[in-house]
Structure 1
Amino acid sequence: MDTRSDLFVDAQTLRARLRQQRLVAAFGAEALRNADFDDLLQEAARVASEGLGVELAKVLEYIPREDALLIRAGVGWRDGTVSVVKLGADTASPAGFALKTGEPVISNHLAGEARFRTPQIIAEHGVRRAVNVIVQGESDGPPFGVLEADSRDEAETFSPDDIAFLQALANTLGLAADRERDRLARDLLMREIHHRVKNSLQIAQTVLLLQAKAAGAEAAKEPLEEAARRILSIAAVHERLYAGPEVGRVDLRLYLSGLVEDLTASAGATEAGRSISLEVAPDADGATCDADRATTIGLVATELVTNALKYGAGEVIVRLVLSDNETKLIVEDEGAGPSADFDPRASRGLGMRLLTGLLRGGGLEVDRKEASSRTRFVAIMPVVAGSSDGSF
């Protein structure tokens, strides 16, 4: 009888360990897919809870300047706990001891625990036992924090095998934390670079505008003002690149909206009684693009809007339309437009030559609406191969 019972327990334990191994393997695959780091933290807490069969688990992030541990992700905790509650990181707390010593901590009877104090949040949730392991990657920096599993059930106990499972999970999370630190460091560097480039371009624009004002002849002033407007559009790209939530990606609606505001102010539209508005097709709302494409779109928009203000009439409308294989930037005004035989590719004007070069692989068309005085310039840009999900 006892032998059969022992065999049953051993088989049950083996199944539990195999399930834990599968959970760690699946979590590792998720981490390798470059999942969102916040989602990965939450998944680590969920896997810890499932693998150990406990109601509560959490990921604690170490905040060095406060010497505290922030509950960054978790399962089973009441609302207002995650991303709000902090615990002490000193060695008098179980999590703090694991963090500072690198040694795992098992507390199977918190009520009678003489080694550590019980954090208030643990007591409030009726936790009777807990296990903590350090989350440490391969970098030389401070550890990311602690992975902890908690249970209200004191009948069971955490074992060294449970520590092995939790530590394997924490080690994978530590490597993901290293990768996240590297990404944030690169983002910070890129934000600084884009900020400095934008400032340099604004200085160049100011110099050109000052030279334009000092130029005696109108023929000399106009090219300088056009060059200043083109520099402004490139500076706007860099501002959007470091100001956005994702460095190196530009939200097209926000970017074009800001560019329209800049052009309204700098191209003299208000003084001339003209207005510039932006319309983004529903399919294009929320679309993003990389820095190179944003620069192209910005320059194309600047050239076409400037052309409409210079040669057209009335309201200027900028439209962005996306399809599966191309991006269209349409600039429309109320003027009669160029002559019927006008060919942008044959034009000797600097603006049209610049547009032809920028739109290589696509093209520029003049769409004259029948029975209407409105004229539309349609810039066509092919979508970059391999793009999807509203980005290109």
Structure 2
Amino acid sequence: MRFGEAALAARNLTSVLNEACRTVADGLGSHFVKVLRYVPEHDHLLLVAGVGWSPAEIGFARLSADNGSPAGYAIANGKAVLSNHLASELRFRTPILLERYGIKRAINVPIRGVPSPFGVLEADSPDEDAFIASDIAFVEGVANIIAMSAERLAAEAGDRRPEELSTDILYASPDPITVMTEEGVVQSMNARAMSHVGVADIAAVQGVKWATLWPAQFHAAVEAALARAQTNSPARFEAPIIATDGAQTWWDVSVSRIEPQHGVPGRLVAVSRDVTERHEQEARLAALISDQEQQLGASEAMMKEVHHRVRNSLQLVQTLLGLQGNLAPEPAVKAQLKAAAVRVMTVGSVHQRLYQDNGSAATDAARYLQGLITDLQAVIGERPIELVADPITVAAVRLSPLGLITAELVTNSVKYGRGKITVSLHANGANSALLSVADEGHGLPDTFPSPEGTGLGLRLVQTYSGFGRDALGVDRSVPYSKIDVRFRL
């Protein structure tokens, strides 16, 4: 990251803060970004750097640091806060400064400090779009660089070595944090990380290859993340930890590199976030769907009744997931629950189609997709969706996979694309079809289809396509975003 290199070379904190704001503004496409410096003696936050704000606000605007403001809430809880609907927010009030600029959504990330937090890095926007979980990870990465730069500059101005202050920052974090050599060998952990891997004394893991602390089947994923971080590229993976009592927890882990400085060799830093609740929700949902589908009978009359009941049951599950997503305090959990609700709606649409077709063994894919797209359109709102499909007959058992893949790709376009979404389905040989989803965006990154975030959506597409990893492709011959999936009929 160019910002990281610039921050390491900076000789004053103001230039670091200004560059941090520009980096976040460019990375998120946000018109308003600011750094709020915590002033503990007055318990308020001072706007010390920013992009988009009036120069008259910089150095003068003050916000409350109590738990009733977004930034104060982030500091009080020691973790990032995402709100895509400030006007309807129940956790805190909208500051007058944000109301004056018409801000409708915000991300607030604490900037660590010792003995008290340095402050908050905040990205704001006046539009109706939405920040997502990967945006939080990006802002957190910039906030961590600010914290390290602040401690380095403080050390250079005083008599404490940078590594002493780094240790203070490490142990002040509520997240599990591990510091390693560039070869992935453990050097230090905070108390949360030691509890995470089930040790009481850091000596038990010092000098140990960090990858070996994870289950054997995830060693390759951990090593791949370390290798990517060594090239100064941000890396993420998800993996479980199994405690000595047999309890399993799942973790979303970010790995980044700290450049060598002041004679101290470069290091790798891993920060973990607990995502166990999301994995449990997905497992329960999969079990529920599996249980419902196993109850289908052979009799045509029974099949029709079963489809009708399953549709009603899944409608209830969808509603409950949507409500739980709206009430979830964690943005990542909220996003995953809403994604799960869309998947349940997709499976429910299959049962509705089979119920309407009297439980027939096969149905017209175009008719089914048109009904599904109508449902998706009602969920996503303004983005238009168009269907172009050949008359293809699909077996009833393949409708659910077809619907899930279509919903995942449409949802992906809603999150990362722009403009009209076009879904097309055309015959592709005797036993397969080509499903394509395109939008009017500027194309997909060169790394796609490598998964970002949890990668669950990509795994669903590959699994349900019937062709595995070979199913998914990107059409780079067109000047817009287009994903092609080979689907086994």
Q: Give the structure-1-normalised TM-score.
A: 0.46
* Higher RCO (CA < 8 A, seq sep 6+): 1
Structure number with bigger Rg: 1
